[in-house]
Structure 1
Amino acid sequence: MMVFPLTFICIFTLLLSLFTKLSVAIDTLSPDETRTDNGELLVSSGEAFELGFFSPPYSNNRYLGIWFKNVPIRTPIWVANKNNPISDSSGLLTITATGNIIITTNTTTNQTTTVWSSSNSSPPTPPNNPILQLLDSGNLVVKNGGGDYLWQSFDYPCDTLVPGMKLGWNLRTNQEWFLTSWKTLQDPSSGDYTYKLDRRGLPQIVLYQGSTVNYRGGSWDGVGFGGDPPLPTKAVVDNIFIINAIDVYYTFKNRDDTAISRFVVNQTGSLQLLTWNERLGEWFNLITMQRDACDVYATCGPYGLCRFDVLAACNCPNGFIPRLQQEWDRGDWSGGCVRRTPMNCSAPQGFRKLPGLKLPESSYFLVDMTKMSLVDCKEACLRNCTCVAFSLTSVSGCVVWFGELLDMKEFSEHGQDLYIRMAASDLARRLDKRNQKVQDNNQRIVEEEDLALLLFDLATVSSATNNFSLTNKIGEGGFGPVYRGELTTGKEIAVKRLSKTSGQGFTEFKNEVILISKLQHRNLVRLLGCCIHEEERMLIYEYMPNKNRTRGISLDWKKRIDIIVGIARGLLYLHRDSGLRVIHRDLKAGNILLDNEMNPKIADFGLARSFGGDQFEENTNRVIGTYGYMSPEYAINGHFSMKSDVFSFGVMVLEIVSGKKNRGFYDPDHDLNLLGHAWKLWNEGNPIKLFDVFMEDPVPTSEVFRCIQVALLCVQQRPEDRPTMSSVLLMLDSENPVLPMPKQPGFYSESQLSSTGKHHCTTNEVTITMLRGR
């Protein structure tokens, strides 16, 4: 039998105890303990959250924060010293015997300095044996010996709301919970945007930019805010709104305990509800609160009604007219509307019902919580000459408004009913706003395929384009020719006419009308309407004077990088922020148009596909797109996803940097296309040779190198190796980012594409259609 010395047994026991202690997640900190900036963390008991020191992407500053433990992309939900960063790794976290949380650092003179403390918010009552604990909800709390909370991070939100956090007020203590955006992606200090609950009248949540209202979510109706449709049955969260004598606040919870979700106001003021998609390894946008132009606060002025799915987004209710007709005709709706007949309480009056609205801004209305009928509410408004409108809601009862009505939005379904006061003579008028004539007598608002859009008649379009003359023709694609035109109002338009010989037909035409009419972004081309006459099918767009000059001697590097970033933002909106999750499928230089200020706009959505639910990819037996821009998995196997668009984007970036086309590229030293040429130069350590010789000096070499590297990451052979557009934009926007090294691109020679045996095409930028047998 082997006998171990006593010393060995003691050492072994000590090591075992240390290993056991280290292997257990530590979620508490006592006054006699510290946590340094040396990888020492607090981990919640269920290992949902971690607390420790960290640096934001591409920043050397250090902060104490809380983040999701099981999300590989570090995503802080709370930052303690957000306005006072630490410049090195000397940070130290402690809790005092009085329950005060302190973060200190050592200065260059070896002096200890406090950079953050919870003392300003600690209770006056001396605690009993306080401890600091990170809970599985993500809440950091100070508890006394009896278990009561003396302080909690949930009372001091940053830019993120997680399940269980509150947005609103504690009416007893006057404690307010609100979100504040980060200043930049690299700087968590207080930014320009705050998201707060306005408790005056009907509770509503408002986004401020500084002191100016930027967006208003609308009032709570028991299901959602402002008449928005309820969350789908497959949604991962439930909205919760509490109104009582003590609290008024919004919160949410996950329907599935395994889900990871967060509500965030980002540095640009966008409000998003996101959930972690483990399969894709990225945050998926469930909801973007600002979905269209009508979500810009008071965009239609007083009494104006906004509807995003029609050309003239703003209109006046029946019985009202524009306050400033000339400005209104020019598309400046800020002056709003006025009553056709001024209010006169001594004359007969009544109410016009406006159904399906986001109720007006709530600064000037009163709420009667008692049970009242519609008639009672109407009579209460009529008794007060200054009452201009009323509504009967299921949550708050009778609501009446005084003063001008602001920020009203029309919904095609859902929404709430508003009754506007007006003269009886105006109520007698039978006006149907959907059939009112607009500026041009040859245009009218119609409903077709359940879509409200501006329908142009053939005579109007023919006249605008000089009967589709060759001198007005500005281009041609797989869809057909494109003509420049001018309406009688002086507005310039671009008319895309479906060719009878086109491989695309009415399906693609209808697809583009339906998709782009629902998309609103500064980097997407704007659809003005369509023309359907017998066999004719035409799309009418805003005219882009600079067409698609994404390559050429007139573009210096500043213009080129602005175009690249603009395309990336438009594509990110399609993939993540639009709510539709759109894959373009024909992204190419010819489909990027430039406006007067050289801002890029993505065009031609005839081949686009939208995904719903948790769908992210699809196969097709009909491959449609443009060779030279199509990803390998799509061209060969008909498999497309958001990463297919990423590949096309990478090709365009290389074309913009070099001033050359991918297909038809020629170099005397090899037979590679532009992708292969860029890959060859990259491996030789000489990417500077890819630069367009016509770019004006000085050229920021490091910035151009970064664009080339990002482009090569986008065109990698395997889709899973390519970044998402959110990562692409982060890499492009950040200073001194650390980028991964690219792998071999797909289709880096013409022979690769030809060897697929599927189709042969000329180097012209034409859209092709290819059918596949099953």
Structure 2
Amino acid sequence: MEGLKIPFLFSSLFSILIISNAVDIITKTQSVTGNNTSVSSGGSFEMGFFSPGNSRNIYLGIWYKKISVQTVVWVANREIPLVNSSGVLTTIDPGILALVDGTSSVIWSPNVTGPVAQLMESGNLVVKDANNNILWQSFDYPCDTLLPGMKQGKNFVTGIDRMLSSWKSSDDPARGKCTYRCDPQGYPQIIMNCGSVEVFRTGPWNGLGFSYLNLKLNSVYTYELVYTKEEVYFHYQLVSSVVSRLTLNQNGAAQRWIWVDRTQEWVIYRSAPTDACDTYKLCGPNGNCNIGNSPVCDCLSKFVPQNQTEWISGDWSNGCVRRTMLDCHNGDGFLKYSHYKMPDTRYSWFDKSMTLGECEMRCLKNCSCMAYTSLDISEGGSGCLLWFDELIDMRQYSDKGQDIYIRMASSELVQQVGFNGKKREIVAVSLALLIGLLLLGVSLTCYLWKKKRKNSQLNREGNLMQNSKQGYTDKSQNDDLELPLFDLTVIANSTNNFSINNKLGEGGFGPVYKGMLEGGQETAVKRLSKNSSQGLDEFKNEVICIAKLQHRNLVKLLGCCIQGEEKMLIYEYMPNKSLDYFIFDQTQSGLLDWPKRFHIINGIARGLLYLHQDSRLRIIHRDLKASNILLDVDMNPKISDFGMARSFRGNETEANTNKVVGTYGYMSPEYAVDGLFSIKSDVFSFGVLVLEIVSGKKNKGFYHPDHHLNLLGHAWRLYKDGRSLELIDEAIWDSCYLTEVLRSIHVGLLCVQQYPEDRPSMSSVVLMLGNEGALPQAKQPGFFTERNVLEAAGSSANEVTISLLNAR
């Protein structure tokens, strides 16, 4: 059947849905229609009013018609119930479907004008125009249930992201804390979040199913992942008369249900997560979870725990590192790991047309490529999937999963052959491969040496690679660089000859241009200003600090261009500009709801943790601020601008400078006053950022009619008075989880405490943001008024100079 059509012209058809209170619903309706408070599609579903569980609130929903247990699959007014008032589903001018309460206030509406509303047999409520085109459909706005034919994924054209979101409780269908969405970043996979915590990840689609579970053909449903330029989504279709649905509950479990007529009940057919190893990132980077082992976590073969003491104690969060460091130019290779759930693909690359052999060569040529596998394992395998970051959230199975090839130093490849006692022929093949890789490395070295020799005179003229204070030589710094060198002609062509139309902005370093390389990759080109002595220092420092840093929350340096007097850095392009563009602008701030802001806070925290603890050198950024946090297409934060950064070696934890560089409002007291900087200086800046993100206000220049405190002082006063809610930006009130927001404010105040020893480390910050444990009381912040910043800087005992006052 086609379903019940509801012409907007005859809104009286909806009079059967008039509500006065929960007791009178059935009585009043029966007097009109003789059945329940619903409009039927004539098929599998019906629509009407209901009260969930023990609640007395009234909601408009859709449920199964022929199922004896009322099972609601969609709720229109899930956030705004009808409470102790009458209501009617009707039309308002100019022909817009609307749920109106007893005061004639609109509770819910699709907000489109069309002549027909129709409840389809699929359970989809649609609004159509005169030509039968769908203007709006409930399938685009799912609640906690995925029905057959519904799309779970994102439309890149309209921006609609169809994700499941749990009910708050069995009595309250309002949006809960858990979501289940198809993530299009990298290669698609489905990710479950509960609040800010990533709970579970399916792994990427491999042609047969998601890699965590190779779904087999069954008699209940078929399934498919569709990925085009316009959209990406997962969907399924029933292939029998069995009734089945997929739901997300408030405890963070995705469940496939089957209706059993014989017992008149729903039974669980499949559920995820299923065991401890389905917990996202349980064993940390490069860790392996095996539910058959005790404990369940160990390191992948050829990897060892990053911190042996923590690992033995059962803290696996820091994961594992390679037993032997990679040496790309001297010949790395790949080891095959079988029966694994594939790692997190949010920082991956893929090509559907490559063979596995071509995939291996593509990965081998890129020193940043950590692993590869077949994109599609059906019918013999095809396509290529590469990873460029740490291998996160892997687990091993005994009889399913797929193969992955992980990059290893050549010495580990030889050891594997010896330990496994392979045949002589295999040894010979491996040695031949090793020799070939070494010859390739020699060829690459000769090529790079010639290119460096060609530019050596230019480098000396620019004094680019000289830094006597840190003990670097030209040779050592050239060796450290290891960056692709772009030809000036290529960069000029990509930026339309540095056209003003391509200019993105300008800082202390010089102008920044948007570029488009021949392969279609968008870039941001920072061009050193010829008149900027500070810019030259920044260029040198940025290359040294960030060239080898790889983290999802750091902006990626793609290469540089050094030719004549031109010196340029080429970065990945960030289409959503910087954080300050959103949070400090009244018109843009609404685009960053609380989940996005909390995601940004956590991303910045993880990026800083990497710089302070997990990178090759301990890096102190020294200029962390909103304008230096860039946002990619999915609003993921990337820390940028390392021109002011300093690196520590060995056990160094603190340093002193007689030239303070940074931005007022973000600098810690000990840095601005005494020139002392450490990881706790960055923690202070992070705390300022957190309070700015929550409030939508700048610390420097903050004004309040009741006092002369800056943002830190204002937040501190509200915290002491138990009124921290007043700090929250109005733009996020409708989307915020109050416990998360208040916890973020508390953590922010802990980070900006006056004395460095009182501030938490970034590892503690990450833990505090990610759990619900008790937090210590915050102490008075440093620099909590504009005046005491200036007085402190002016009374410096060691003649510290503030060389940079405002954002660059």
TM-score, scaled to structure 2:
0.47
TM-score, scaled to structure 1:
0.49
Which structure's residues are more often helix, by fraction? 2
